[in-house]
Structure formats: structure tokens, C-alpha cells
Amino acid sequence: MEIQEAKKKAEELQTLLNQYSYEYYVLDQPSVPDSEYDRLLHELIELEEQFPEVRTPDSPTQRVGGDILDMFVKVEHSLPMLSLGNAFNEEDLRDFDRKVRQAVGESFMYVCELKIDGLAVTLQYENGYFKRGATRGDGTIGEDITENLKTIKSIPLKIKEPITIEVRGEAFMPKKSFEALNAGKLKRGEEPFANPRNAAAGSLRQLDPKLAAKRNLDIFLYSIADFGETGVRSHSEGLDMLDRIGFKTNKERRRCATIDDVLAYIEEWTEKRQDLAYDIDGIVIKVDSLDQQEELGFTAKSPRWAIAYKFPAEEVVTTLKDIELSIGRTGVLTPTALLEPVRVAGTTVQRASLHNEDLIREKDIRIGDQVVVKKAGDIIPEVVNVLPERRTGEEKEFVMPTECPECGSELVRLDGEVALRCINPKCPAQIREGLIHFVSRTAMNIDGLGEKVISQLFQEKLIQDVADIYKLTYDQLIKLERMGDKSVNNLLAAIEASKENSLERLLFGLGIRHVGSKAAKTLAQEFGTMDALRKASREELTAINEIGEKMADSIATYFELEEAAALLEELKTAGVNMDYKGAKPVRAEDIDSFFAGKTVVLTGKLQQLTRNEAKEQLESLGANVSGSVSKKTDLVIAGEDAGSKLDKAESLGVPVWNEEKLIEELNK
């Protein structure tokens, strides 16, 4: 066979196989028997082995799984993957509805969708070809799992239109795949997965894509990351577009005109959820119109135009065997119930939070009690109440200690707090928990330094504070249990890479009381360097939006400590970055510019600037560049082939400029 003939034959086979795969995995309407698909796939594999040059990125043979990876590469999302606020009852949903109506009026529609219990992922396509896929991670930074996602047959390697687009969805393990996987594990004497969600997450985080390929995962796409130039005007239109270009979406979605319609949809699927071929843990409700979504906007963590209703938690009865006490990084003493193992919402639960002494007293919880346990939001186990009628007289009342169980220091209850606290700064438990916080994903994000490794290093006295992490050597680490040559080198590389983190990660990692990740970023943006922040007065700190007196006092007190100064000096000597590396937010009031404070929308193709260049220049001059036109839009910049956004701007009377007018104003 000549190369041209081989190429033609390969194209025919690829087209047929991709069509059959789409019919089977997306439409659930197979047109040929499995044996025919397998025969054609085997023929294509042999052809590509004989003529490797005919293999294309969208060939079905690329789904079998590539080479084993050394590690997952971190990727920053082009747009954040925000989490949704939760609703647990009708009252929460009606409150959400009231806020929506207050913001946009009475004329709007909701879209209700099943909340798939899986792993959120984002998929990027360039000119129609699947380019990259990543996990949600912390919402800003995820992990590149492209090779594993390619093994999911319902993810198209090439879509039906040659467009560049980023889409988001939920990868999951169907119940049948989960049952088959666990049956195999039990047969081999291995520990089975607790639930399909854990199994899906574990499969997509396999460094060997061939293992992921065997797990038979699936996906439902639920949104377009940036509607940009799609011409789509609503969320439901976006889902229809995803269907049209070859993606798999969940067909059980429904548009609802009122909150009562939403409640009826929830009631229906609360009853029918067990009949599905996959797990769901709730219902997602979104305002349909993209313009109204923009009017509603976002909080720091979630959109105001969407909410996730969580199904009522499953409740079970078990025995509370004991109460364990632990000290956190801020010195708070936390009691935890040790339970007779019991299955709750798909996982085996042996521990549950008791929060504090007041809760134990209020619920009259005693060691040996029969207790009702549930998972709050299907995630965190908690003791709901005790069953006093089942008591035998053998139960024991629990008495809180007066001394820290770790260091023996006196426990105190600060004014206005319900928790007991150890205030000894040298308490080993606080130091250990502080180290675990420092290396965590939302702080310095050091891969390989998990809780077990930190505890081991601390126990061996190899680290006593966070600066010691940067003094660790190969010779020290290789002696630890379960640490081979490759693990040690990967860990040292991750520690070295963390030195380049932007200032806000270090600030959050230091564990300054009351300073969360959002406040850390605000401080880093405002002051730019650690030195400038250390010199800031309480008055300068409280002058910043979101920094109250309590937080300002905590920050100033921390930097006044000699120990803090010494620690920061050690970190600086180790080469840890002390500067903010992100873009400093531009405040409209500080800029003398026509664009300052204006909401600008870009639409159509620009000739002299790329969209990103235009966006950056406008934002640097104080503009808020938005993705859709609404009555709040001040200006629309229309390039060639401008579509629905231009039409809407004209209908609303929003001023429209061409690119030449924009360039002229930018040059001023």
C-alpha cells in the first residue's frame, strides 16, 4: 500500500470510528455492533503502526493512553472556576429567588440541571482540536490531565466546528463502571473505592493514562467558559450549542419560569435520583440570561446568579466510642467523635466533628451513646443528636481538660469565644499544624509535602519552623520511610519551585490570624512587597477595603514579633520571593482617562490589536472590560463581523466605536 492510499484509508476509518463513538457514547444510539467497532479500530491501529505519518491528533487510537507521566503540571485557568453557593432547603432557595428578583426584576428564567457527583474539569479546543484539559484545583490553578481526559470516549478529540473554545464539565464514573472496578479490586484483595466520585478523581489523577483508560469514565459538559463571540445570549442556548458541535450534555435539564417550578423539579429528581446510571448530589439552578447574569455579578467566591441545592443528608445511627482532642495551628482545642464505623452517603465514617465543649453540653453527648450521624452537605460528618432512650447506664459524661493535651500548658477561653485555646506559641501541635498549612495547596502549594511527610519530618526534628523546609537535603530525606530517589528529587524540586510563588501565597502560608487567602492577595496587591507591608501602620492597614480593625491589629502584632522578623529573614536568605507578582488592580479614581470607571465590551475581529491587547490597555486605563452587553454597558468597541452584541448595543442605545476610534483614544 502506498502512503497516499494509506492516508485515504486512515481518514475513512477515523471518520467511521469517530461517528460510531459519538453515536454510542454521546447519543446513546449505537448503529453498529461492538464487534464491528473493534474490528475497524484494530484495522486502524495496524495501519497507523505501518504508516505512523497517517496518525492524527483526533484518531480514535489516541484514547488508549499514552506514556506514564512523571508528575502533573500546574496550569492557571484563563478564567477562574468558581464554586457555587449552597442551598439546603426551600427557605434558602426562596431567599436566592428574592435576591435575583430584587436585582433584575420579575422577567427572567431559570435553568435547572442535575448536579453530577464527579470531578470538575475544563477542556480547551484550538481550531476544533482538543488541546488541553485540567482539573478545577483551587479554582485558579489546576493540574494538566490532558492525557487522562483523552481516554474518556465521550470527550471529542475534534469538534464539529473549527473554533477555539474552552468548555467546562463534570467527569464521573457511571455506576456500572464503579461496580466492575470494585469487583476487580475485591477479587485481588485490594481496598475498594468508597464511592464513584472518589474513584473518578483517583482515575483522572493516575500518572499512567493506560490505567485511566481502563476505568470507563464519562462526562457531561455544563458551560462555556467565555461566551465571547459565540453569539449565545443565554445559558440554555450555550448548552444547545455544545450539543450541536459534538459535546455530551445532560438532557435532564429544564427551563423554569418560577421558583415553584424549580421546587417541583427538585422534588421530582429527589425521588428519581436512584434510578439514574450515575450519582447526583443535588440540583444546580442558574439564571438563564447572560445579560442578567452579568447584572447580578459575583461575590468573592461564587456567582450571584447560580446556586446549588444539596439533597438532604442521609442520617444513620451508630455508637460514639470515644472523644479525641486535637490542637489546631491557632491553638484551638477541637473535640472529635470516634465512632463505630458506619456507611453514610457512600463512604465509611469513623470520625465526626463535635466543634466545641458547648455543643457537647448542649446535645448532652456522652461516651457510649447511640448517636445520629449525617454528612453536612454530603461532605463533613457530624453528630446530629443522641438517642437517650437507648442508654444503658454505662455511658460516661465527657469532661474537657484544663491543660493542653500536647504541651501541658493551661487552656484558656478568650473573651467572646466558645473554644478553648492553648496560647503557648511553642506548642508542638500548633507548630506541626502551621507547617501543614504552609505547604498546603492554597498556600505555598508544595507537592509531596503532605500531612504524613510533615509529621514525619517534625518527629525526626528535621523541621521546626517553615524556614527549615528550605534547608532540607537529599541525604536527610532519603533516610525517611517510603521516600525513594525519585520521590526525594521531586520533593526537592517542588520546594525549590515554591520559592518563586507570588507574595500572597507566602502571606497566607504564614498563618497570620484572621488573614485568609483573599485578604492575603488584597494586602499583596496593595503593598507590593513584604518589607512595605511590615512597615505599614494600623491606620494604613484599616484604610484598605476589606481590612478591618481586628485583622489590622493581628497583622501589625505579628510583624512586631522578633520571631516573625527572624523567620522572614531566614526565608529571604533561602531565596523565597517576597514580592507580589500579579497584576496590580487599577482604581478608576486614580486615573485621568476617558475609560476610567467605564464598562466596555469588545466584539468582532480587531485588526491592529488582539482582543487581549485591547483588554489589557483598557483595563490599565481604568476600564472594566465585560463579556456581554447590558444596560450597564458604557461603550462597545465593534470590529469586523460583530454580531449579536452590536445588535444589542444599538437596541439599548449604547455608544459604539470602531477600532480606529479606539486606537485614537488610546494614543491620547
Measured CA to CA, the distance from residue 441 to residue 84 in angstroms comes to 20
How many residues make up the chain in this entry?
A: 668
Query: DSSP secondary structure string, 34-86?
Result: HHHHHHHHHHHHHHHHH-GGG--TT-GGGGS--SPPSSPPEEE-SS--PPPEE
Distances (CA, A) of 369 to 196, 302, 366, 382, 667: 32, 39, 6, 14, 75
Q: What angle do CA 436, 442, 443 make, to 5 degrees?
A: 60
| Cell numbers describing residue 356 | 466545641
- Residue 253 · residue 237 · CB < 8 Å: no
Cell of 362: 448542649
**E-state strands within 355-498:** 366-367, 370-376, 380-386, 396-397, 411-412, 421-422
Among candidates 546, 91, 583, which has minimal Cα distance to 299? 546
Beta bridge partner(s), residue 113: 284
Q: 104: which DSSP letter?
A: H
The x, y and z cell numbers of residue 378, run together, are 454530603
d(CA 335, CA 354): 6
Query: How far is it, in rounded angstroms, from Cα 238 to Cα 161?
Result: 15
**Any residues with CB less than 8 A from the CB of 199 and at least 6 apart, and which?**
173, 178, 181, 182, 193, 215
Map residue 287 onto helix, strand or coil: strand
Handedness of CA 47, 50, 53, 58 (dihedral sign): positive
Q: Which three cell numbers stand for residue 441?
A: 495547596
CA 499 from chain centre, in angstroms, equals 23
Residue 605 is given by DSSP the state B
SS3 of 493-534: the string is HHHHHHCCCCHHHHHHHCCCCCCCHHHHHHHHHHHCEHHHHH
Task: Calculate the alpha carbon distances from 259 to 95, 105, 149, 188, 265 in Å.
Answer: 10, 14, 36, 50, 10
- Distance (Å, whole) CA 375 – CA 365: 18
Q: State the catalytic residue, choosing from 7, 8, 99, 115.
A: 115
Q: What are phi and psi of 57, to 5 degrees?
A: -60, -25
How wide is the angle at C-alpha 216 spanned by C-alphas 211 and 222, nearest 5°? 115
Told to judge if 115 belongs to the known catalytic residues of this protein, a careful annotator would answer yes
DSSP-derived letter for residue 289 is: B
Tell me the catalytic residues: 115
